[in-house]
Structure formats: C-alpha cells, structure tokens
Amino acid sequence: MKKTIVTLAVAGAVGLSGIFGGVVEAASISSLKDQQNQIEKEKSELSSTINDADQQINGLIEQQSEVKKEMTRIDFAIGDTHKKISEKTAELEETKAEITRLQEEIRVTKERIEKRNELLKERARNYQETGGMVSYLDVLMGSHNFSDFIDRASAVATIMKADQDILKQHEADKKSLEENQAKLEEELASVQTILADLEKMNQQLNAQRAEKDRLLASLEQQEDEIHEHKMELQEEAQLLAAQSAAIQKAIALEQKRQEEAAAAAAASAAAAAASAATAAANNNSGSGNGGGNSTPSQTTAPVSSGAFTLPANGTFTSGFAPRWGSFHYGIDIANRASGVPIWAAADGVVIQSYYSSSYGNVVFIAHSVNGQTYTTVSAHMEARFVSSGAVVKKGQQIGIMGNTGDSTGKHLHFELHRGEWNGSKSNAINPVGIVPMP
C-alpha cells in the first residue's frame, strides 16, 4: 500500500462494538444515536469543506481564464513583432542591396575622380611648364588672321570652361560621394537598431509567454490537486453515509435484541413461576422427581483459536514498518495461486465495501473483542463478496486476493486499527502477535 486514501470519518463505526453474532453487548441505543448525530455533524462539516473546494476550483478556473487571455494578448504581440521583424529584415536586405548599388556608384565616382585628378595634375604640370595663361596668349598671338584669332579664342574659352567644369564636377562628385556614404551609414545603423529592438522585444515577449505557460501549468496542477481532494472528500462523504446506515441497522438490531431479551425474561419468569407452582403441588402431594435435562447452546466453531483468525493464506512479504520512504501501516500477504480466499479476521459489521483508487477493492469491518473495538482493512482484492452493512462471522470469506488499486502485485494488504480508522492512521497497530499470520 503506497499511499493514503481519503480521510475517513469512522468515529461512529467503532460504536457498533456490540453487534457481532446479531447482539449488541457494549453499546446502548442512546449511545448509538449519539454516534449517529456525530456522524451527521461530520457530514455537514464535510459538505462545507466540499463547498470550499468548489469555490477554490472556481477561483482557479477564473485565474486560468485571465492567464489564457493574457497569453492570447502576448501571442498577438509576438505575431505582430514577428511581422515587424520580417518587414525590417526585408528592409535591411533592401538597404544592403542599395548599399551594394551605391558602392558600385561610389567605385565609378572614385574612378572618375581619379581620372580627373590625373587630368588636373597634367594641367598643373602644363601651367608650371608654360606659365599658365601665357600659353593661351601664345595660342592667340599665333593667329594668322582675324578669323583664325576668333577660332583660337573660342577654343581657348572652351578649354578654360572645360577646366572649370571639371573642377566643379570633381567637387560635386566628392560631395555626393561623402553624402551617399553618410546616408548609407545612417540608414544601415537605423535599420540595425530597429531590428535589434524588435529582437529584444521578441525575446521579452517569449519570456513572458513562457512565464504564463508556467503559471497556467501551476494553476492547472492546483486545480487537479483540488479536484482530487474534492473526489476524496466525496468518497469520504459516501463512507459517512454508509456509516450512518450501519448505525441505523445497529439501532434496529439493538431494539430487536431488547425486545427478544424482554420476551425471554418474561418467558423465563413465567416458566420459573410455573415450575415453582408445580414443585409446591408436588411437595404437597409428596410425589414426582426434581430433575430435568438442559439443552447446550450451539455455537459456530472458530477458524482458529482466539478472537482473530488468519485473514488469508500465503507468504508474509511486508510488515508494519518503514518502506519506500514512508511508513507501511499494515502487513502484506502474497499468494500466486488463483482464487485465494480472503476471510474476515473476526466477527464484525462491514463499514464499507467498495472500490478505491488506492486500496482497490477494499472492505472495512468494525469488530468488538473483549470490550475493545477494532477496525480491519482488507485491500487490493480481485473481488468482494460482502456488502456495506453486512454482519460477518470470523472466517467468513469476504473476497478473493487480487492486484487492484495502488498495488504492485497480487497480495492482501491488511490493516488493524485499535478503534477507528483515520486518514493519518494514528490508531494503526501491528497485526503480528494479535492476528494469526501465515
């Protein structure tokens, strides 16, 4: 048995201490009614706890709804950021393409500038060698006639203008080159900055999304835990309801016993009176015998000596001791054979017979031994042969050994509690030495 099932309120169960063999010996009808009232109180408290669990579940569902809305907003923001990143990436590629184009223009411009530099250097050498404007005067003075002079003057003016145009274009190209380079550097830096900001925003949004994922997972886990707790509370409520029914049965049995006892007492008194009258008559007549035969009561032979009997045949595999990081509040008896019977360890009343997610097929039985109440738990059975509220005898088969619930192999998990069973198993005692073992 690896884990504990729901906290079971069986305080009233142990009050069935007198119902074994159909007779209530230790509990009066009044005390049974008191115990039933206590169970009803516990049921009311349990109902309130279930309502609290419902409120917690609803609160967690609302929180999950808000988180999901926020996640939706973040998802849209991430999608928008991805779109902007794609746009800026495309813009960056366009800018790079433009940079490539301008770089080609810059290269051509540099070549032109270089050629002009060579031309200007040549012009400078000519100026140095010829004295600059003197050479142009020589050209003009060398005219043969006025028409030739006009032609030469026009040619000199054209050359001088060309020189000026070269200088202007040279300066314009240099300026354009500087402006284009500065513009490209600015555009490239701007796009890279925007892209870096978008990437950072994307990382932040993804981090927020991951945090919301973790929060949602935590809320869902809390909801699952509360749902599980609620199911345990509902199971406990069912057990309490079964216990209440068992108490009602105990009261009816006690009333019947009292009626039968009163009738028996009246019959005994009448018989005694009749016997006394007969004896007096015989004494007066001086005749008759004074003897009679008694009929011994018939009892069922116990399966084994003592109040308890062996709950099952098999191999003792695990005791009442620490195990697997927790405490094993019972003993395990294993048997690989098929159809291994499970027996009631003592006379008692079945508190509950049902299927539990942890105990599997399980039967809780209340017993009274020499004025002391006990509760036994027989778990992991393949099948159950008794129902809640049934009166059982020691050695009566209550089921078949199995491997149901939280079990790792075919065996009987058997617990013995001095008094009531509870979730903390504070009343659990070692069955060894009290209940016969294989």
**Domain spanning 307-429: CATH superfamily:** Glucose Permease (Domain IIA) (2.70.70.10)
Whether the CB-CB separation of 244 and 39 falls below 8 Å is answered with yes
In this predicted structure, the answer to whether residue 392 has a pLDDT above a threshold of 70 is yes
| DSSP secondary structure letter of residue 434 | T
pLDDT of residue 15: 41
Tokens of 3: 């884990």
Highest mean pLDDT among 94-98, 138-142, 252-256, 293-297: 94-98
Percentage with pLDDT > 70 across the chain: 69
CA 37 to chain centre: 36
Hey, which residues does 356 pair with through a beta bridge? 360
- Three-class DSSP category at 5: coil
- Three-class DSSP category at 318: strand
In this predicted structure, the answer to whether residue 173 has a pLDDT above a threshold of 70 is yes
- If you search the block for the tokens 């009929």, which residue do you land on? 295
pLDDT of residue 428: 95
Give the Cα separation of 378 and 361 in Å (integer).
Answer: 8
Burial string for 202-215 (b: 16+ CB within 10 Å, else e) reads: beebeebbeebeeb
Nearest by Cα to 136 from 122, 149, 145, 147: 149
Q: Quick one: average pLDDT of 363-371?
A: 82
- If you search the block for the tokens 């230790």, which residue do you land on? 26
Whether the CB-CB separation of 139 and 152 falls below 8 Å is answered with yes
Structure confidence at residue 191 as a pLDDT band (50, 70, 90): confident
Whether the CB-CB separation of 292 and 279 falls below 8 Å is answered with no
Tell me the per-residue pLDDT of 394-436, one tens digit each, with 9 for 90 and over: 999 999 999 999 998 999 999 999 877 877 788 899 999 999 9
Structure confidence at residue 263 as a pLDDT band (50, 70, 90): confident
Give the Cα separation of 97 and 188 in Å (integer).
Answer: 11
- Three-class DSSP category at 310: coil
pTM of the predicted model over 0.85? no
Burial string for 48-86 (b: 16+ CB within 10 Å, else e) reads: ebbeebeebbeebeebbeebeebbeebeebbeebeebbe
pLDDT of residue 318: 93
Tokens of 106: 């810059």
Neighbours of 339 (CB within 10 A): 9
CATH classification number, 64-219, choose in 1.10.287, 3.40.50, 1.10.150, 2.60.40: 1.10.287
Domain residue ranges of the chain, discontinuous segments joined by + = 64-219, 307-429
Hey, which residues does 429 pair with through a beta bridge? 416
CA distances from 252 to 16, 219, 346 (A): 12, 49, 22
Tell me the per-residue pLDDT of 305-343, one tens digit each, with 9 for 90 and over: 788 999 999 999 999 999 888 999 999 999 999 999 999
Greater pLDDT, 274 or 137: 274
The average confidence (pLDDT) of the chain is 75
Give the Cα separation of 113 and 170 in Å (integer).
Answer: 6
pLDDT of residue 246: 62
Whether the CB-CB separation of 179 and 187 falls below 8 Å is answered with no
- If you search the block for the tokens 């006690």, which residue do you land on? 254
Q: What is the dihedral of CA 179, 180, 182, 188, to 10 degrees?
A: 160
Hey, which residues does 326 pair with through a beta bridge? 323
